[in-house]
């Protein structure tokens, strides 16, 4: 349903399978042709590797024969490729029988390398793809089976769609893609100028610019929506600013269409100002000066679709950029991602970075440790955690690292919890990035309960947790006495806060009570006094300041630090404080 016209798309998809209107190729033949060319390219790469191996043994009769055979085959295939004769390339590969490998003359390393070459397997793929693309039997298969089956499927789908729409209307339900479809219908009018409705033209007058982030993850219905709300010159949208990186497109399973980005990337011209900056190597301040001059090339650039290549990387050193560039120029080709990774796409170091600054400098060493007989059970993971803990201990003790310099990466949250427990047993402060593990910790539960009580003290369960904690200082015996005290009042309610208030009121009568009941009443009165003060503070302090104030006044921060695993508990309390700071950096405020 991410197509602007899903029913129309369905009809077109089925109709193009009709063998009577099926022209030179079926709907999937172009993809099959690309797959065929990709397989042929893989085959040629393997032949090149085979040639390079046997070239090392020049002078051996068999090695020279294999080298010449590979060279002649590659020459002929490359000639056909330049002529666009893909089918003839496949035929040539099919008709070529390669000589048997001679391994007795090879080194062990070359033998292992030769074993990775399987041109015969690729040849099977080429044969299948060639038969699909160029077989004359496809039309008959379409006529006898595929087209009738798809027409029946279309009938079922359209009937099902009608039922779904009817059921949604009966229940007053809309899904997200329904909003997209209805919005597009509201914005479009086939009879209006440029296909825009009155609503769309009103929006065009309201919004001067449109900014789109992560454009590589857009789809066609979003593209059409943008078209209708954008201002236009001669029917073309203007003042639309898109930012994206097709290398980061990972949402095709959600129907994102990176070809929208690729098409604009391939057809838009480089901004003349940016081109000038690249060639003259001026800086961004000169760019601001150019924009103020109103020169003709600036005015012309504002009229045309143009792209700005953000190829300068300000974060990484040269070795990192070299590695990234090497990988992407090897795997990112036009046939696969619609964009080739060439000189314009390469990541370049920030201005002023000396490329030689990293030469001769060695980074952290890498190593691999194999723990024999270590199982994937909880005991095995705990054993691994103990080994990690001892390694961390050596790093901190001998190499001068701090605990916060070290990160342990694991696959699952449960594994992280077990390893964190193992590290805690070794008195290594740590926390696992696991929501369940963090919020289930005793010290975090206690502080969260206290915040809930400050927000609304009439919550029995959080209040009970706080009263039984060191903050409240009560025992089970105290709670029982408090309930008995409250039960003397005929208007007593079952809410815990009311019982607490009743006990606090009795503090004036403690001279006539037994010592245990008197102590309970004093605890109740003291807690309510502090609670009222904290509630007042919560109205004028931001959350993280309130939490820090609670740590100090209650002494709970020091108390948790003195418990078993105190370093980890203290780190958890610090993390809670950091989460409050992150919470306030957004548009939120207050306790809840």
Per residue of the chain (592 residues), give pLDDT as tens: 678 888 998 998 888 777 665 554 455 666 777 888 889 998 999 999 999 999 999 989 999 999 999 999 999 999 998 888 888 999 999 998 888 888 888 888 888 888 888 888 888 888 888 887 776 666 566 667 777 888 999 999 999 999 999 999 999 999 988 999 999 999 999 998 999 999 999 999 999 999 999 999 999 999 999 999 999 988 889 899 999 988 888 787 778 888 898 888 888 886 655 555 555 444 444 444 544 444 445 445 445 688 888 888 888 888 888 888 988 888 887 766 667 788 888 888 887 766 555 555 555 567 788 777 767 788 888 889 999 999 999 888 887 788 888 899 988 888 888 888 888 888 887 777 665 567 888 999 999 999 999 999 999 999 999 999 999 999 999 888 888 877 776 666 678 888 888 888 887 776 677 888 888 888 989 999 999 999 999 988 888 899 999 999 999 999 998 988 787 788 889 888 888 887 776 545 555 5
- Cα torsion for 231, 236, 241, 247, to the nearest 10°? 150
User: What's the rounded Cα separation, in Å, for the pair 556 and 570?
Assistant: 10
Q: How many helices, marked H, and strands, marked E, lie in the chain?
A: 28, 8
Nearest-CA neighbor of 60 among 105, 28, 18?
Answer: 105
Closest by CA position to 472, among listed 402, 378, 555: 555
CA distances from residue 552 to 90, 404, 447, 557, 558 in whole angstroms, order as listed: 77, 24, 13, 7, 9
Q: Which residue reads 């024999």 in tokens?
A: 372
Q: Which of 326, 301, 321, 302 is nearest to 311 (CA)?
A: 321
Q: What are the structure tokens assigned to 391, written together?
A: 């390694």
Alpha helices, H only, 338-377: none
Instruction: Residue 291: count other Cβ atoms within 10 Å of its Cβ.
Output: 13
Q: Tokens 């955690």 correspond to what residue?
A: 385
User: What is the Rg, in whole angstroms, of the alpha carbon atoms belonging to the chain?
Assistant: 36
| Token pair in block for residue 268 | 């838009």
Half-sphere exposure of 560 (CA within 13 A, CB side): 24
Q: In this structure, what DSSP letter does residue 146 have?
A: I
**CA 111 – CA 132 distance, rounded (Å):** 35
Domain residue ranges of the chain, discontinuous segments joined by +: 9-139, 187-313, 318-349, 377-433, 437-586
- Residue 230's nearest CA partner among 251, 205, 213 is 205
| DSSP, residue by residue, 166-199 | HHHHHHT---HHHHHHHHHHHHB-TTSGGGB-HH
In angstroms, the CA 245 to CA 265 distance is 10
Torsion of CA 565, 567, 570, 574, to 10 degrees: -130
Asked if 129 and 35 count as a contact pair (C-beta separation under 8 A), the reply is yes
Interacting residues of 319 by C-beta distance below 8 A, sequence separation 6+:
358
Residues 390, 406: contact at Cβ < 8 Å?
Answer: no
Distance, CA of 276 to CA of 81 (rounded, Å): 37
Q: How far apart are CA 184 and CA 2, in angstroms?
A: 11
Contact 388, 350 (CB under 8 A): no
* 487 neighbors 498 (Cβ within 8 angstroms): no
Fold of 437-586: PCRA; domain 4 (1.10.486)
Which residue is it, tokens 């194999």?
370
* Residue 513: other Cβ atoms inside 10 A: 16
- Helix%, strand%, coil% for the chain, nearest 5: 65, 5, 30
**Measured distance CA(483)–CA(503) in Å, rounded:** 9
Specify the pLDDT at position 247: 80
């Amino acid at each position: 349903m991410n197509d602007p016209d899903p029913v129309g798309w369905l009809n077109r998809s089925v109709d193009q399978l009709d063998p009577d209107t099926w022209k030179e190729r079926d709907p999937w033949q172009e993809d099959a042709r690309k797959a065929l060319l990709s397989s042929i390219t893989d085959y040629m790469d393997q032949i090149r590797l085979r040639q390079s191996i046997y070239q090392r043994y020049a002078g051996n009769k068999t090695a020279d024969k294999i080298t010449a055979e590979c060279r002649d085959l590659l020459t002929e295939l490359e000639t056909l490729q330049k002529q666009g004769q893909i089918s003839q390339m496949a035929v040539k590969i099919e008709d070529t029988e390669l000589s048997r490998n001679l391994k007795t003359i090879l080194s062990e390393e070359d033998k292992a390398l030769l074993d990775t070459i399987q041109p015969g397997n690729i040849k099977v793929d080429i044969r299948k793809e060639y038969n699909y693309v160029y077989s004359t039997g496809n039309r008959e298969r379409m006529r006898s089976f595929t087209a009738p089956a798809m027409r029946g499927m279309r009938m079922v789908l359209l009937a099902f769609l009608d039922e779904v729409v009817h059921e949604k209307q009966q229940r007053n339900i809309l899904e997200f893609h329904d909003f997209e479809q209805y919005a597009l219908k509201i914005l479009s009018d086939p009879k209006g100028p440029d296909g825009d409705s009155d609503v769309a033209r009103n929006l065009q007058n309201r919004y001067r610019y449109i900014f789109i982030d992560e454009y590589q993850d857009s789809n066609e219905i979003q593209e059409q929506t943008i078209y209708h709300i954008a201002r236009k010159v001669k029917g073309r949208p203007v003042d639309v600013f898109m930012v994206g990186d097709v290398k980061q497109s990972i949402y095709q399973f959600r129907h994102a269409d990176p070809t929208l980005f690729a098409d604009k990337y391939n057809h838009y011209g480089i901004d003349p100002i940016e081109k000038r900056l690249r060639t003259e190597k001026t800086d961004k301040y000169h760019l601001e000066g150019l924009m103020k001059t109103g020169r003709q090339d600036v005015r012309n650039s504002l009229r045309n679709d143009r792209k700005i290549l953000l190829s300068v990387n300000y974060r990484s050193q040269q070795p990192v950029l070299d590695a990234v560039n090497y990988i992407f120029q090897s795997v990112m080709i036009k046939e696969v991602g619609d964009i080739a990774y060439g000189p314009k796409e390469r990541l370049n170091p920030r201005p002023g970075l000396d490329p030689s600054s990293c030469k001769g400098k060695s980074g952290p060493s890498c190593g691999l440790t194999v723990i024999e007989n270590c199982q994937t059970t909880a005991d095995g993971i705990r054993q691994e955690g103990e080994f990690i803990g001892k390694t961390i201990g050596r790093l901190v003790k001998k190499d001068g690292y701090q605990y916060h310099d070290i990160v342990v990466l694991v696959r699952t949250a449960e594994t992280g919890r077990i390893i964190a427990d193992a590290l805690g047993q070794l008195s290594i402060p740590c926390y696992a990035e696991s929501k369940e593990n963090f919020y289930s910790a005793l010290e975090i539960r206690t502080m969260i309960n206290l915040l809930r009580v400050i927000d609304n003290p009439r919550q029995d369960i959080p209040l009970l947790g706080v009263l039984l904690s060191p903050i409240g200082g009560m025992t089970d015996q105290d709670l029982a006495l408090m309930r008995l005290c409250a039960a003397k009042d005929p208007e007593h309610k079952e809410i815990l806060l009311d019982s607490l208030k009743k006990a606090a009121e009795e503090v004036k009568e403690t001279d006539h009570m037994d010592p245990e009941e008197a102590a309970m009443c004093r605890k109740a009165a003291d807690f309510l006094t502090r609670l009222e003060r904290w509630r007042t503070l919560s109205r004028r302090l931001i959350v993280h300041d309130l939490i820090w104030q609670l740590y100090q006044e209650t002494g709970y921060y020091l108390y948790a630090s003195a418990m078993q695993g105190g370093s980890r508990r203290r780190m958890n309390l610090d993390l809670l404080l950091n989460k409050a700071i992150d919470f306030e950096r957004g548009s939120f405020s207050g306790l809840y």
